Amino acid sequence: MINEAIKIEVSNLHKQLHHHNHCYYVLDNPEIPDSHYDKLLQALQRLENQHPEIKTPDSPTQRVGGAPLKKFKAATHLLPMLSLANAFSSEAVQSFERRLQDRLDGHFNPETQTLHFMAEPKLDGLAVSLIYEQGVLIRGATRGDGQTGEDITHNVRTIHSIPLTLKGDNIPPLLEVRGEVYMPKASFEKLNKNARKAGKRTFMNPRNAAAGSLRQLDPKATAKRLLAMYCYSIGKTEDWTLPTTHSESIKQLKHWGFSVCPENKVVTGIQACLDYYQSIGEKRASLPYEIDGVVYKIDDLNLQKQLGFISKSPRWALAHKFPAQEEMTLLETVDFQVGRTGAITPVARLAPIFVGGVTVTNATLHNMDEIQRKDIYIGDTVIVRRAGDVIPEVVRAVPDKRPPEPQPIIMPTHCPICSAEIIQLEGEAKARCSGGLYCPAQAKQAIKHFASRKAMDIDGLGDKLVEQLFDLTLIQQINDLYQLKTEQVASLERMGEKSAHNLIQALETSKQTHLSHFIYALGIREVGESTAKSLAQYFRSLDTLQQADSETLQSIDDIGPIVADRILYFFSQQHNLDVIEALIAAGIQWPTPEKTPNEDDLPLQGHHYVLTGTFSSLKRTEAKTKLEKLGAKVTASISKKTTAVFAGKKAGSKRTKAEKIGIKISSEADLLALIGEKQEN
Ligand code: 5U1
């Protein structure tokens, strides 16, 4: 027998955990630190272990996944799951409107003939149906053939943005909800990066990864892959009256605790639909999930009813698709490119192909393991994928179209640029040129990195100019930059006296830097901006850093044995030490970084901020530095960890996003108060 006090404690823990899960995964606005959430979950887990009979299917502990299944059961949908008719051009969208007007003649605003639509991004995921009885999730199913799918309840329970119990009131005794389960781009990239590192099979796209993850018999495997769901319609309900519009039913879903896409918008008339398509298309690359088009739905549910269905698609909805992101073309040959750290990347040279809105002739093949796994040969017809701004990649070969004598792809033994030996260290997926900074390809990339904004920030020294200076042998390594003369630069093609003078001036200005920028600019493998900052803060002098041993390096937050090895290796190379000496001799200097007080004493420790727009009293970079000095983290994009967004004048999409997901927006005055400064008048 479980006593009443335990029952109350369990119920309280359920409530708290459901609430904080909703804040974190649906609202993107956590109220407590992760460690606090973990403690609550552990407390519940302990009670469930002591009293197994109190464990219920809607317990927040079920998110981690229960025992594996032997096979999937069939799941019949309460109402058929429909598919959408597709359109690939504005003309097809305009005919959709004409068809609607003809069918609805006289049944809607006859004066203006305008219709209200809900426009929504079309997520590239997997359609899923959820059933709730008395507000508790009892079943999740894939679409299958629209009538019957597979029962994936055990897996949907592991998806944090799916409520296990509904919030609020007016909950129908039976509710069926439809939506798309998807894998956020960041999770997909992480999954594939880890698979590539471990020499395992990669997923072709986030959709396949989401499908593969949902169709796991072992829910623990699903729980590890970070999936999410946006809901887009209500299916069957009992004893409940639907609202009069689709947009209101979406609002209702949100109140019950479901996650709905923040880009959804009610628009009037078909031109507004086309404008929406255009604006979502422009945003597509920056959205954190893959979409393959947008969906337009008549907003008025009565009109939807009148329009009905044709075959398996509703007449009241249309999917307006973006141009395909995957196309087939011929792999003509393979070249090997050398990166900044010597990594050799096989690059496919392709017969030109129009994909994702641009003509592509090159695509990455990543590394040799990947080529072997994908079984790709020169002469193959291959599938090329270009998603957003990401470098196009060869996804796979089409075996049926293989020529009789395909040519194998062979990694050269020596660097195509400097002829140094190519080596591949055990456990590394990439082969590397051993030429170091003597390899012109590596040196060029190293100079570009050195000059970049977050490194030495040499204004006007872009990639093209570095190429030009390098190819004319005016610079061969980083330190040569500081020997450049105005006349040499002015003699370059498309370079006048004035631009040359400006560049020399920018080089001079860059000599006054910060230790963290200098460390980052050196281009040590695995040392990004944030690690460089940690190193500068810890050692406060380059000499001390150069003399540090592995143990000392590893005592710094976020430095593990691999990064420590990279740093030790860099400073063990005489040519690197020579470059550093020459740079310092040229006059590069920095103030000694201030001693960092004990982390726990910093007032903004654990707070994450985003800065957007322009401020009248200080630059964004200054505000960033000041917040960081107080222990805060300042990030470029809004995430679930963001404490607040400081919005200056002309704050754009970040402010809108923060408003949409309910993150606190603070003013310049709040910012100044926080960093202890007065506002200028
Ligand atoms: N955004 C969105 N995607 N999607 C897919 N809405 C939407 N509606 C769908 C489908 C299959 O079907 C409706 C007919 C409910």
Same domain membership, residue 500 and residue 381: no
Which residue range(s) make up the domain with 489? 436-510
Residue 611 pLDDT > 70, yes or no?
yes
295 CA distance to ligand 1 middle (Å): 7
**Tell me: the pLDDT tens digits for 219-270?**
777 777 689 999 999 999 999 999 999 999 999 999 999 999 999 999 999 9
Residue 361 pLDDT > 90, yes or no?
yes
Radius of gyration of the chain (CA): 29
Higher pLDDT pick, 583 / 574: 583
- What is the pLDDT, as a whole number, of residue 680? 46
Q: Which helix (H) or strand (E) holds 117?
A: strand 116-123
8-state DSSP, 462: -
Q: How far apart are CA 232 and CA 254, in angstroms?
A: 10
Q: How far apart are CA 590 and CA 317, in angstroms?
A: 61
- What does the block give as tokens for 289? 């999930």
**Tell me: the pLDDT tens digits for 80-137?**
998 899 898 999 999 999 999 888 876 766 566 689 999 999 999 999 999 999 999 9
The CATH number that applies at residue 540 is: 1.10.150.20
Where in 143-227 does DSSP place strands (E)?
148-150, 174-182
User: Mean pLDDT over residues 320-336, rounded?
Assistant: 91
What phi, psi does 361 have (nearest 5°)? -125, -15
- What does the block give as tokens for 497? 């006296």
Higher pLDDT pick, 71 / 534: 534
Same domain membership, residue 150 and residue 35: no
In a domain, 83, yes or no: no
Same domain membership, residue 315 and residue 238: yes
Q: What is the pTM of this model?
A: 0.60
Q: How far apart are CA 469 and CA 584, in angstroms?
A: 22
Q: Which of 79, 96, 117, 122 to mutate to test the pocket of ligand 1 (most atoms within 8 A of CB)?
A: 122
Same domain membership, residue 315 and residue 190: yes
- What is the pLDDT, as a whole number, of residue 14? 93
End-to-end C-alpha distance for the chain, whole angstroms? 69
Residue 535 pLDDT > 60, yes or no?
yes
Cβ–Cβ under 8 Å, residues 437 and 579: yes
- Owner of token pair 């390594």: 477
- What is the pLDDT, as a whole number, of residue 186? 87
Cβ–Cβ under 8 Å, residues 26 and 253: no
Same domain membership, residue 284 and residue 144: yes
What phi, psi does 580 have (nearest 5°)? -60, -45
Q: How far apart are CA 384 and CA 376, in angstroms?
A: 12
Q: Going by CA atoms, what residue is nearest to atom 8 of ligand 1?
A: 232
- What is the pLDDT, as a whole number, of residue 678? 61
8-state DSSP, 342: -
In a domain, 383, yes or no: yes
Give me the DSSP letters along 365-404. Answer: ---HHHHHHHT--BT-EEEEE--TTSPPEEEEE-GGG--S
User: Mean pLDDT over residues 511-517, rounded?
Assistant: 96
Q: Please name the residues in contact with 358: beta carbons below 8 A apart, sequence gap of 6 or more.
A: 386
Distance of CA 65 to the CA centre of its chain: 25
Residue 681 pLDDT > 60, yes or no?
no
User: Mean pLDDT over residues 384-404, rounded?
Assistant: 87
Same domain membership, residue 272 and residue 126: yes
Same domain membership, residue 334 and residue 293: no
Q: How far apart are CA 408 and CA 399, in angstroms?
A: 14
**Tell me: the pLDDT tens digits for 339-358?**
988 999 999 999 998 887 77
What phi, psi does 351 have (nearest 5°)? -65, 130
Cβ–Cβ under 8 Å, residues 196 and 366: yes
In a domain, 681, yes or no: no
Letter string b/e over residues 308-317, b meaning 16 or more CB atoms within 10 A of that residue's CB? eeeeeebbbb
The CATH number that applies at residue 363 is: 2.40.50.140
- Closest atom of ligand 1 to 178 CA is 15
Residue 675 pLDDT > 90, yes or no?
no
Q: How far apart are CA 237 and CA 173, in angstroms?
A: 8
Would residue 381 be called left, alpha or beta, if left means φ above 0 and alpha means ψ between -120 and 50 degrees?
Answer: beta
Q: How far apart are CA 43 and CA 13, in angstroms?
A: 8
In a domain, 590, yes or no: no
- What does the block give as tokens for 74? 């069939």
The active-site residue, picked from 7, 55, 70, 122, is: 122
Q: Which residues line ligand 1 (CB under 6 A)?
A: 82-84, 120, 122, 127, 178, 180, 232-233, 295, 314, 317
HSE-CB for 468 with a 13 A CA cutoff: 13
Q: Are strands 265-268 and 344-355 parallel, antiparallel or unpaired?
A: unpaired
Q: Going by CA atoms, what residue is nearest to atom 7 of ligand 1?
A: 232
HSE-CB for 561 with a 13 A CA cutoff: 0
Query: Over pLDDT 90: what percentage of the chain?
Result: 57
Cβ–Cβ under 8 Å, residues 395 and 383: yes
H-assigned helices in 77-124? 90-103
Distance of CA 304 to the CA centre of its chain: 36
Closest CA to 185 of 201, 202, 209: 209
DSSP-derived 3-state class of residue 177: strand
276 CA distance to ligand 1 middle (Å): 17
In a domain, 302, yes or no: yes
Same domain membership, residue 646 and residue 544: no
**In this structure, which amino acid lies at residue 380?**
D
In a domain, 91, yes or no: no
Question: How does the average pLDDT of the chain come out, rounded?
Answer: 89
Same domain membership, residue 39 and residue 155: no
Give me the DSSP letters along 213-277. Answer: HHT-SSHHHHHHS--EEEEEEEEEEES----SBHHHHHHHHHHHT----TT-EEEESHHHHHHHH
230 CA distance to ligand 1 middle (Å): 11
Q: Going by CA atoms, what residue is nearest to atom 15 of ligand 1?
A: 233
Same domain membership, residue 266 and residue 333: no
What phi, psi does 385 have (nearest 5°)? -120, 135
- Closest atom of ligand 1 to 317 CA is 14
What phi, psi does 410 have (nearest 5°)? -120, 130
Q: How far apart are CA 559 and CA 553, in angstroms?
A: 7
- Closest atom of ligand 1 to 83 CA is 11
The CATH number that applies at residue 646 is: 3.40.50.10190
Domain boundary among 452, 486, 510: 510
**Tell me: the pLDDT tens digits for 622-664?**
888 888 888 888 888 787 778 899 998 888 778 877 877 778 8
Same domain membership, residue 447 and residue 308: no
Q: Which helix (H) or strand (E) holds 574?
A: helix 574-585
Same domain membership, residue 451 and residue 336: no
Q: How far apart are CA 535 and CA 200, in angstroms?
A: 33
Closest CA to 77 of 177, 158, 227: 177
In a domain, 80, yes or no: no
If one counts the domains in the chain, the total is 6
Q: How far apart are CA 681 and CA 674, in angstroms?
A: 18
In whole angstroms, how far apart are CA 432 and each of 343, 499, 574, 576, 652?
A: 4, 37, 19, 18, 42
Distance of CA 107 to the CA centre of its chain: 44
- Strand partners for 238: 174
Domain boundary among 291, 321, 351: 321
98 CA distance to ligand 1 middle (Å): 21
- What does the block give as tokens for 64? 């981690």
In a domain, 95, yes or no: no
Q: How far apart are CA 410 and CA 464, in angstroms?
A: 31
- What is the pLDDT, as a whole number, of residue 112? 65
Q: Going by CA atoms, what residue is nearest to atom 6 of ligand 1?
A: 232
The CATH number that applies at residue 54 is: 1.10.287.610
pLDDT band for 389, please (50, 70, 90 cuts). Answer: low
- Strand partners for 589: 512
Query: Over pLDDT 70: what percentage of the chain?
Result: 96
In whole angstroms, how far apart are CA 503 and each of 170, 496, 508, 514?
A: 67, 11, 9, 20
108 CA distance to ligand 1 middle (Å): 23
Would you call 122 a catalytic residue per the annotation?
A: yes
Domain boundary among 353, 382, 401: 401
The CATH number that applies at residue 214 is: 3.30.470.30
**In this structure, which amino acid lies at residue 497?**
E
Q: Which helix (H) or strand (E) holds 352?
A: strand 344-355
